[in-house]
Amino acid sequence: MAKHLEKQGSTYHVRLAIPKDVQADFGGRRILSKSLKTGDKYQALADSHAILAQWKAEIEMFRAARQLPEGWQEGVVATATAIGQLRQQGKLEAIGEAAPPLPPVDPAVLAKMEADGVPAMLEKLVAIRAPAGVAGRLKTQDDLARIALTLAEHQVKAKHTLSADQSAELTELINNPSSYKPKSPLTSARLEAFRVFGEKQGLSKKSLDIQGSKLAVLSAYLNTEGSPLSFDTVATWLDTLTVQPKTKKQYVWAGSKFWQWAMKYDARWREDYKGKPNPFEDHTMPVLRGKAAADAKRKAFAAEQLAGLYAAAKEGKNVHLPDLIALGAYTGARIEELCQLRVEDIITVEGIPALSIKDSKTEAGVRETPIHADIAELVARLAADSKDGYLLPSSGGNKYGVRSDPYSKAFGRLKTALQYGRQHVFHSIRYTVITCLQRADVPGVTIASIVGHETGTVTFDVYAQGPSMKQKAVALAKLPTALLQLATHAHPSQDTA
């Protein structure tokens, strides 16, 4: 920072050139200068740091103040519209016709025009230029309106720093205010701030991406339609979405979460929407009933179907897909829970071999599940063959780090080839295990503990420590014979996922 020092006589001064774009904010000055009251260069250099930092902060403050505020277009349109209304009224009066009362003008617009001196300037121009005759008076109204619009445009440019695009947009709005469509308040800057907030709250990247994509769809709609963010607009927008009611609820949920965040953390949003209700609340969604509801619901595989899937998987190229199906069939675990299992997750509890499931989407999902006797050899083999510490090798996770992604796709291709529809997915194996245990008279609390579900009761979810490992092992032993035959076949050495 020595370049900012200048010795005048025996005393050092700190100096800073004021950027041209903010010189007016400093009274037209080009240089800031201050005596450091010392002839010692090193002391002067040390003392100059705080002064320079303060000056630079002031420059940035003035620059920020000169930036066009969000939603600046509305103010320009309101001003241009008001000038147009005044011109029309003046022309009617000039030809002797009764001018209808002007529509109410936003008091803020009038206040801004007063502050800018527009009315006073117009009065002077009328007094100076108004010629005699109707034609002259009509021309005067056009001239006055044109001058007023020019002054309004110059006022904006004098107070703010505009980009080339903003300058072009300003000119268009001044000359043709009816061309303006309100912009979506869900700006990219706001959506990014909302995302950063979600990251700090520990939400997963996938969840944040889903929220962001849904909000982006709404923002695009608002921009296209030029509609304000209101209950009616949201309702109309929802009607345009060709998705299931469940998905529409996800859109509404994302919007409501954004609204709650913005009302709490975005000062401008609080001001703009002060006293207005959350437009994402109280929407009525279509309810599927009867056959439609049944067709949309996922279904469990029958035991014979599961055996057929396993047999078909063995004939495919993905050697570890049948391993995954076998693990799912004997544990009821979620696909990603299985793909996250590591060698060190093979443990012994109460003398019973078990799998420690630590990576689950819910707190209840973190659990210990007995290793069924029919997959004991499979688990041992996977552990012995592991190259990276995971029981199931994966060619790589997707952009969210989901290791099960290639397996999920492989299973999708398999079940589609076997003519299973959308109701059957890998998660259907979990349905199968739960259904089999229920029909074997296993208590619901034990089933929930095995598959990682809450029971919905304070007694069992809060106070109870859950079934013992022996109780869970006895329960899993009640799975039907068709399931127990799944992992008894040899595994050819083929490509992994």
Q: Is residue 461 over pLDDT 80?
A: no
Mind listing the pLDDT tens digit for each residue in 15-62? 999 988 788 878 889 999 999 999 998 898 989 899 988 999 888 888
Report pLDDT for 213. 92
Average pLDDT, the chain: 83
Residue bearing tokens 């060709």: 242
Q: Is residue 349 over pLDDT 90?
A: yes
Q: How far is CA 376 from CA 39, 327, 346, 381, 476, in A?
A: 83, 10, 10, 9, 13
Domains annotated for the chain, with CATH where assigned, are 2-66 (no CATH), 72-179 (no CATH), 188-288 (1.10.150), 303-484 (1.10.443.10)
Q: How far is CA 472 from CA 169, 176, 375, 438, in A?
A: 69, 74, 15, 13
Report pLDDT for 458. 73
Sheet with 367-370, strands from edge to edge, namely 346-349, 352-357, 367-370
pLDDT band at 322 (very low <50, low <70, confident <90, very high): very high
Stretch 286-313: mean pLDDT? 74
CA 47 to chain centre: 45
Residue 151: Cβ-neighbour burial (10 angstroms; 0-12, 13-18, 19+):
middle
Dist CA 138 CA 88 (whole Å)? 10
Stretch 464-487: mean pLDDT? 80
Task: Out of 65-79, 103-117, 323-337, 417-431, pick the least confident.
Answer: 103-117
Q: Is residue 210 over pLDDT 60?
A: yes
Report residue 472 as tokens.
Answer: 């869970």
pTM of the predicted structure, to 2 decimals: 0.55
Mind listing the pLDDT tens digit for each residue in 233-253? 999 999 998 888 888 999 999
Report pLDDT for 489. 41
Report pLDDT for 288. 53
Report pLDDT for 494. 42
Report pLDDT for 490. 37
Q: Is residue 72 over pLDDT 50?
A: yes
pLDDT band at 492 (very low <50, low <70, confident <90, very high): very low
Report pLDDT for 28. 87
Mind listing the pLDDT tens digit for each residue in 164-193? 888 888 888 888 888 887 788 998 889 999
84: left (phi over 0), alpha (psi -120 to 50) or beta: alpha
161 bridge partner residues: 67
Stretch 329-338: mean pLDDT? 92
Report pLDDT for 317. 83
The percent of residues above 90 in pLDDT, for the chain, comes to 41
Report pLDDT for 33. 92
Q: What type of residue is 273?
A: Y
- Stronger pLDDT, 382 or 285, i.e. the higher one: 382
The percent of residues above 70 in pLDDT, for the chain, comes to 85
Q: Which of the listed ranges 133-137, 293-297, 482-486 does the model predict with the highest average pLDDT?
A: 133-137
Q: Is residue 148 over pLDDT 70?
A: yes
Report pLDDT for 497. 46
Q: Is residue 125 over pLDDT 90?
A: no
How many C-beta atoms lie closer than 10 Å to residue 374's C-beta? 19
Q: Is residue 327 over pLDDT 50?
A: yes
The 3-class SS string of the chain reads: CHHHEEEECCEEEEEEECCHHHHHHHCCCCEEEEECCCCCHHHHHHHHHHHHHHHHHHHHHHHHHHECCCCHHHHHHHHHHHHHHHHHHHHHHHCCCCCCCCCCCCHHHHHHHHHCCHHHHHHHHHHHHCCCCHHHHHHHHHHHHHHHHHHHHHHHHHHCECCHHHHHHHHHHHHCHHHCCCCCCCCHHHHHHHHHHHHHCCCCHHHHHHHHHHHHHHHHHHHHHCCCCCHHHHHHHHHHCCCCHHHHHHHHHHHHHHHHHHHHHCHHHHHHCCCCCCCCCCCCCCCCCHHHHHHHCCCCCCHHHHHHHHHHHHCCCCCHHHHHHHHHHHHCCCHHHHHCCEHHHEEEECCEEEEEECCCCCCCCCEEEECCHHHHHHHHHHHHHCCCCECCCCCCCCCCCCCCHHHHHHHHHHHHHCCCCCCCCCHHHHHHHHHHHHHCCCCHHHHHHHHCCCCCCHHHHHHCCCCCHHHHHHHHCCCCHHHHCCCCCCCCCCCCC
Q: Is residue 275 over pLDDT 70?
A: yes
Report pLDDT for 303. 85
pLDDT band at 221 (very low <50, low <70, confident <90, very high): very high
Dist CA 224 CA 343 (whole Å)? 53
Residue bearing tokens 């009616």: 232
Mind listing the pLDDT tens digit for each residue in 391-442? 999 886 556 667 888 999 999 999 999 999 888 999 999 999 999 999 999 9
Task: Out of 199-208, 223-232, 283-292, 436-445, pick the least confident.
Answer: 283-292
